[in-house]
Amino acid sequence: MTDTPPPSGHEVIKALVRTLPTSPGVYRMIDATGEVMYVGKARNLKARVTNYTRPEALELRLQRMIAATVTMEFVRTETESEALLLEANLIKRLKPRFNVLLRDDKSFPYILIATDHPAPELLKHRGTRRRPGHYFGPFASVTAVNRTIASLQKAFLLRNCSDSFFSARTRPCLQHQIKRCSAPCTGEISTEGYAELVNEAREFLSGRSQGVRDHMQKDMNEAAEQLDFERAALLRDRLGALALIQSQGDATAKSVEEADVFAIHHEGGQFCVQVFFFRAFQNWGNYAYRPRADSSLSDAEVLEAFIGQFYESRTPPRLVLISHELSEHDLMEEALTSRADRRVYVEVPKRGEKRDLVNHALNNAREALGRQLAEGATNRTLLEGVAECFGLDEPPRRIEIYDNSHISGTNAVGAMVVAGEEGFSKKHYRTFNIKSDISAGDDFGMMREVLTRRFTRLANENDEEAAEDEGGGMPEWPDVVFIDGGAGQMSAVRGVIAEMNLQKEVTFIGIAKGEERDAGREKFFMEGREAFMLPHRDPVLYYVQRLRDEAHRFAIGTHRAKRKKDAVANPLDEIEGIGPTRKRALLNHFGSAKATGRASLQDLAAVPGISDAMAQLIYDHFNKG
C-alpha cells in the first residue's frame, strides 16, 4: 500500500468556506506536517478566506502558501480589535514562516518605585509588573537605567536596598554616609519626610521636573539665608544630580511628553525598524529591530505587523508616532487603546517637532541597516574563505566554538559560542557545568562530556537537520565545530563523533596554539587530513583567531563568575528547608555558619523558628561523619 498525500490547496479552502461565519476572527493555515504556516485576522472570516479560493489573482508568495495548505483552524472573536490582538499573540507563539516575525523580542528595563513597604524602594525592574508601585520606562539599555538610578539616589535620597536588609539595620549603611540615601531604616528621616522625597521623585520621572527643581531651589535659598549651609550644600548637590539626569539624552522633546517613535527602512531584501522611547520629555534610548519578512511586502505592511507584535506583551504610551501610514490605522488605535485601558493615538506627523523625531528615527534605521548589510557582506566573504580553506562544500551558516576553563579541575565549565553570517549570535551562547567525576585537569574528558551533552540534546530536541530557529536563518545544527585544542582534543571527541554518527553532518576542526603560544602560528587538525597552517596574513586566520578568543573570553568569564559565587556561598544555603528567615535566625543566634556547624543538637533546637526535626537536619548536615 502507498500512502496518498492529503488533499491541499484552494479546493480544501473552498470546502471550509461553506461553514464559516461572517463575524470577526483569526484563521490559521496548516500544512501536511501539522505546522502552522500563516496566521491572519479578518473583519469577516467568510469573506477574507474566500479570497484564498482564487489563487491565480494573488501574488506568488500567497500562491505557494495556499498550495501547501491541507487544513485551516478558526477562532471567532467579538470585535476586529480583539482579532488583531489575538493574531499578534499567535504569531509570536507559533512563529509561522509566511508571517512577518518580530525577532529578538527583548524585554526592556524599567525604573520602579515599589509601594509595598512603608519606605518605598527605588530599583530596576524587568518582566511582568506584578509588584505594586510606580513604573517608569521603558529604557533601551540597562546601562541607562543604572546611570539614572544612581543620579536619582543622589537627587532624592531614596533607598535601593532589599526589605530584608532594611529590617536588619541598626545603624545607617554606607549609602547614607555618601549621601545617596536618607536612611529611613534607622529613623534618620521621618516617614512623612521620606514620603515627600518619594513624591518628588515621582513628579520628576512623570515629566513635572521644573516644579521639583523650583521647589528644591527655593529650599536651598532659604537654608542659605538661615545660615544652614550644610543643608544648602546638600540641596545644591541634589539639584546638580537632577541636571545630570536631564542632560543624558541625545535628543529631547519640548512638546512630546510620552511617545514611542517607530521608523522603518527597507534595503537589500531586509528590513530595520528603529524604536525610540520618549518619556518625561526626554529620550530614554532606542533599539534597532530586524523583523523577518518577505521582501515583496511594503514598508507599511511590515510596520503594521511589527507594531501589533511589539505591543502584544507591552503597555503602549499615549502617543505612537510612525513613519508610514497604516492600512488599518483606526483598527490599530482601537487595539492599542484596548491594550492600554486608556486612549492611545497613532500618528504619522507631517511637520513640526514630531516629524523631526520620526525623521531622526528613520535616519537611525537607515544607518543601522547599512551597517548590518556591510558587516553581513564582510562576514559572507569570510565564511566563503572558511569553506575554501577547510574544504567545505559550501559556506557554513552556523559555526560553534568550544572551550573549557577551570583551576586544577575546580569550578570546571565548558563554553560554546556561536557565529554566523551576522557575526556572533550571543543569544545562542551556552555554558556547561562539568558534572562527571573527572580527574583534575582532564581537559579531554571535559570536552568529551560537553560535546556529548550538546549533541545528545540537539538530536532529542530536533530531528530535522536544516530546522531554523526563531532567529530566522540560523540553523539549529552547526556546520562547523572548532575545538580549542590540538590532536589530543580531537582524539577525545572522535568517540563522540562516531557514537552519534556526526561525520557527515558536522565538520570538526581542532585549533592548536602555535609555538610559545604565538598568534599566527596555529595548527589545524581535521579528520582524514594532515595538520596544517594557514598563511600568516590570511583574513580567514584572523577570523578563526577571533572566534577562538571569543570562546576563551566567554569560558573564563563564566568560570570566574562561578568561582566568585562559590567563594561567597554560605554552608547554610546547602541545607534543604533553610530559607532567608531561618538563615537569619541562625546567624543572629550563633554569629556565623562555622559556629552553627559546631553547635549541639540542643542549642540548635533552642533557636527561634527551628523545630526539632529541622535542628536534626542541620546537625546531620554538619556532622556527616
* Domain match, 55 and 80 both: yes
Contacts of 151 (CB under 8 A, 6+ apart): 241, 242, 244, 245
Sheet containing strand 345-347, edge to edge, reads 282-289, 270-279, 258-267, 319-322, 345-347
Which CATH number goes with the domain that contains 276? 3.30.420.340
Task: State which H helix or E strand residue 86 sits in.
Answer: helix 80-94
In this structure, the number of other CB atoms found within 10 A of the CB of residue 76 comes to 13
Domain count, the chain: 5
Query: What is the C-alpha to C-alpha distance for residues 117 and 159, in angstroms, rounded to an integer?
Result: 12
One domain, residues 279 and 354: yes
Check whether residue 453 and residue 530 sit in a common domain: yes
Residue ending a domain, among 563, 588, 609, is: 563
Residue 230 is assigned to a structural domain of this protein = yes
CATH of the domain at 26: 3.40.1440.10
In a domain, 382, yes or no: no
- Whether residues 223 and 264 share a domain: the answer is no
Instruction: Give the three-state DSSP class for 144.
Output: helix
Last residue of a domain, one of 246, 278, 296: 246
The answer on 203 and 152 residing in a single domain is: yes
Q: Cα separation of 341 and 339, whole Å?
A: 6
Per residue in 376-422, pLDDT (tens digit) is 788 888 999 999 999 888 999 999 999 888 776 567 888 999 998 88
Q: Which amino acid is at 582?
A: R
Are residue 527 and residue 604 in the same domain, yes or no? Answer: no
Cell of 115: 509601594
Residue 33, pLDDT score: 87
Final residue in a domain of this structure, among 370, 399, 434: 370
Same-domain status, 340 and 415 = no
Which domain does 345 fall in, by range?
Answer: 258-370
Contact 342, 318 (CB under 8 A): yes
272/418 same-domain check? no
558, 578: one domain? no
Give, as one character, the DSSP assignment of residue 257.
Answer: S
Segments in the chain below pLDDT 50: 1-2, 463-472
Burial of 529 (0-12, 13-18, 19+ CB in 10 A): exposed
What pLDDT, on a 0 to 100 scale, did the predictor assign at position 470? 43
Same domain, 204 and 332: no
